[in-house]
Structure 1
Amino acid sequence: MKLAVVGGGSTYTPELIDGFARLRDTLPIEELVLVDPAADRLDLVGGLARRIFAKQDHAGRITTTTDIDAGVADADAVLLQLRVGGQAARNQDETWPLECGCVGQETTGAGGLAKALRTVPVVLDIAERVRRANPDAWIIDFTNPVGIVTRALLQAGHKAVGLCNVAIGFQRKFARLLDVNPSEVHLDHVGLNHLTWELGVRLGGPDGENVLPKLLAEHGDAIADDLHMPRQIIDRLGVVPSYYLRYFYSHDEVVRELGTKPSRAAEVAAMEKELLAMYGDPTLDTKPELLAKRGGAFYSEAAVDLAASLLGNGGSPVQVVNTRNNGTLPFLPDDAVIEVQARVGHEGATPLAVPALDPLYAGLIANVTAYEDLALEAALRGGRDRVFKALLAHPLIGQYEYAEGLTDRLIAHNREHLAWA
């Protein structure tokens, strides 16, 4: 089995490598190729990756390359985890929207649109290379904004499934609070990527007992603290929203907060500098503890589980993924990409049935899906007017004056990445 990781020079890759090493029985990788244009970073990350495999007695071969075509050749699956423009572009996404009084964030609002515009054309080019190399290869997309990127891949006819670590993070947290094995916890996880709610927490399987009321009654304060939301809103909803709902439920508060501290991108950039220095130590053969602060907890476990299922090598039969709606949420078009529990196998992902949603959730999902339609159109076809319409449609923006100002700033800060600008 051969896997390729495009964006393999990421400082977070050792987390993925550690998961591949620990979970070799689930996903028996014979060859792993790390692909990245940044040769210096790739050498450091690749060296540590080989030492981690050796430390854990994994017999798989790890190679590195800056050549995408060479890297994906004959791969059974390709994992995408790239960041076009690096942390510098992310820093811009998180700062210039604040000038208009809007949230600065890399996956939602104006910053999320900027990332989509930079990313979609690059991902589609890579996907075409994968298809030429091996039409049967699966593409696992961990590149944000996952929903929009996965939709672009599926609309272009690629074999793709989107992946996010939010659901597995909740699963592991709830398992600790309930003192049970994570495999016993199943989530009624519904929404779009980075716009989801846990409507139920079930023990034993998708049809098991719903223990969410017990969790909220006994651990509501801890859950609310982790989400940086008031306990009151969690109790009133009776569900657990993802952290990203804070940008919607507390938008103005978050804008004020973001204006008083360094961007997350600046924090990550400083962390990455320190991590790369560690990776250069030839005696380091485990992932450093600092990596846990980098974000993406449990990403490796989710990636292994999904790849194993898609490649017919086991894996959990039901997983939370990003895949085509196909009538699951009847108020959305079939080609919308939703994030829900799905049955996953070598034929792909099929969403499980979802009960009728409260308008409180369905309305916001429909609104953001309409924005994603326009965002993808702007990413594929370009043009100032398409960017403006996408921004105007986003529920975190929605005002003509804001959309105009944000359009100008988005184009100015991303001109080098926009072929049409």
Structure 2
Amino acid sequence: MGIKVVIIGGGSSYTPELIEGFIKRYESLPVSEIILCDIESGTAKLAIITRLAERMIHRSGLPIRVSSTLNRRHALEGADFVSTQIRVGGLEARALDERIPLKHGFIGQETNGAGGIFKAFRTIPVLLELSKEMHELCPDAWLINFTNPAGIVTEALLKHGPHQNVIGVCNIPFNMRNSTAEVLHVDVKRVSIEFIGLNHFVFGRRVFVDGSDRTQEVMQRLMTKQLDFSPANIVSLGWSDAFLQAVNMLPNPYHQYYFQTTETLKKDLAAYNTNGTRAEIVQEVERTLFEAYQDEQLDEKPAELELRGGAYYSDAACSLMDSIYNNRGDVQTVNTLNRGAISDLPVDAVIEVNAVITKEGPLPITVGPLPLSVKGLIMQMKQMEELTIQAALSGSTKDAYLAFLMNPLIQDEKRAQPLLEEMLLAHAAWLPQFQSKEAQRT
């Protein structure tokens, strides 16, 4: 029997990555139907992506039906897997997430700091509605969430949504593993990294090749600048020997926002003054991509898509679906419930960790207590995530202010308030929960 996959946000420029992933894995993951679902404002892009997907599948010769719809409930009926890649408010909202914090002297980034908090505020209510619909229309389906901030959104769904078959995915651990394999000149299948932490705040504690510990060799490669994990959307500043020797773990690209805050802010301000926000750059990349996507001769994913920052996207999402469907019991890095894997964090906290993937879902592999070197900051980040979820649900400005205060990229009790007020005003159209008078008073 074939597999039905629904892609929420099907008009995304990332979708060809997924289509390619399904084509590559057809023998082990026999997808028979793909429905691309989007909202009315995304109709034009959805049509372009659908036609490209049809050409890609036609070229493959595989019996996969692809269609598109704006009717989410219709799309979800009988689904086996649902993938989410939405951006509430579009790139316009992302530009605000980046521009307004910079104006106030804070880092502006779509999944970290004030921008990440507001992306969660916009996204969580929408995906909780999806959770209700899946619970009704496809109760056995797995929701593979790629929508950022992936860890926060996944925790909100698992704690507050009725549908519990939810796994969060991020391509950063895949980037780190693949880059490590390249620099060690080995096949990526031979490399494993023990990850510990949270989404966009995860560390690689140990690196193994065929079971042999190669951690110190990889750390040396980082020190000599032979290794860079950064995706297209993050310009690496490199790491000092002092930092790497003290932490003695592989940092991920997003750590520059927290451990190189002053230099990163300076770099981002210079980039903003020269080229505008990253969102504006992405808008130009997308214009180029969608022009290419409309070429009736194009029947494969274009190489230019990597400029969008989505490298290994399909590997992360499709490999996970494949492992669930086939009950592989292999190890993948996912965002899932802690369940004691990290002893310092609550059992119902969502962490980013290696897990054994089965048909029943992920079983996180125990990694023990957090390393003392980063324990305090990780626990602070988790508290900030919990406050962000609380504010997204309550619509309380007090809760939102607390989330700002707990965020390491803000935590300034006087400057946080005007930043929060301006962002609430700018994003009002996408934040109905904050608009009621009752919520404003709490």
TM class by shorter chain equals over 0.9
2-structure distance, mates of 1:222, 1:253: 21
> Is contact 2:11-2:36 (8 Å) kept?
yes
2-structure distance, mates of 1:385, 1:231: 38
> Is contact 1:22-1:56 (8 Å) kept?
no
Q: How does 1:248-287 map to 2 (within 5 A)?
A: 248-261=258-271, 262-287=276-301
* Candidates 19, 22, 35, aligned match of 2:21: 19
Deviations 1:158-213 (A, max 9, x none): 21010000111111111111222111111111110000111111123xxx221021
Give unmatched runs, 5+ long, in structure 1. none
Q: How does 1:371-386 map to 2 (within 5 A)?
A: 371-386=384-399
Tell me the residue number matched to 1:166: 172
> Is contact 1:75-1:134 (8 Å) kept?
yes
Closer/same/farther in 2, CA of residues 251 and 362 from structure 1, 3 Å limit: same
1-structure distance, mates of 2:221, 2:115: 37
Q: How does 1:96-135 map to 2 (within 5 A)?
A: 96-135=100-139
Tell me the residue number matched to 2:237: 228
Q: How does 1:235-384 map to 2 (within 5 A)?
A: 235-261=245-271, 262-311=276-325, 313-315=326-328, 317-384=330-397
Structure 1: which amino acid aligns with 2:253? Y
Q: Secondary structure at the match of 2:398?
A: helix
Structure 1: which amino acid aligns with 2:306? A
Give the superposition deviation at 1:357: 2.6
Give the superposition deviation at 1:224: 5.2
TM-score, normalised on structure 1?
A: 0.96
Give the superposition deviation at 1:132: 1.0
Tell me the residue number matched to 2:414: 401
2-structure distance, mates of 1:31, 1:3: 6
TM-score, normalised on structure 2?
A: 0.92
Give the superposition deviation at 1:225: 8.2
Tell me the residue number matched to 1:29: 31
1-structure distance, mates of 2:144, 2:229: 32
Count of paired positions? 417
2-structure distance, mates of 1:76, 1:200: 35
Give unmatched runs, 5+ long, in structure 2. 231-235, 436-442
> Is contact 1:3-1:78 (8 Å) kept?
yes
Structure 2: which amino acid aligns with 1:212? T
> Is contact 2:177-2:192 (8 Å) kept?
yes
Give the superposition deviation at 1:231: 4.0
Tell me the residue number matched to 1:84: 88
> Is contact 2:31-2:64 (8 Å) kept?
yes
Matched, 1:192 2:205: no
Structure 1: which amino acid aligns with 2:118? A
Q: Secondary structure at the match of 1:33?
A: strand
2-structure distance, mates of 1:111, 1:182: 33
> Is contact 2:343-2:370 (8 Å) kept?
no
Structure 1: which amino acid aligns with 2:237? H
Q: Secondary structure at the match of 2:238?
A: coil
Give the superposition deviation at 1:217: 2.4
* Candidates 45, 57, 61, aligned match of 1:57: 61
Deviations 1:288-333 (A, max 9, x none): 121111012111011111112222x255611100001112222211
Q: Secondary structure at the match of 1:387?
A: helix
Percent identity reads: 36
Give the superposition deviation at 1:218: 4.2
Give the superposition deviation at 1:26: 2.8
Matched, 1:210 2:232: no
> Is contact 1:5-1:81 (8 Å) kept?
yes
2-structure distance, mates of 1:316, 1:268: 37
Closer/same/farther in 2, CA of residues 416 and 97 from structure 1, 3 Å limit: same
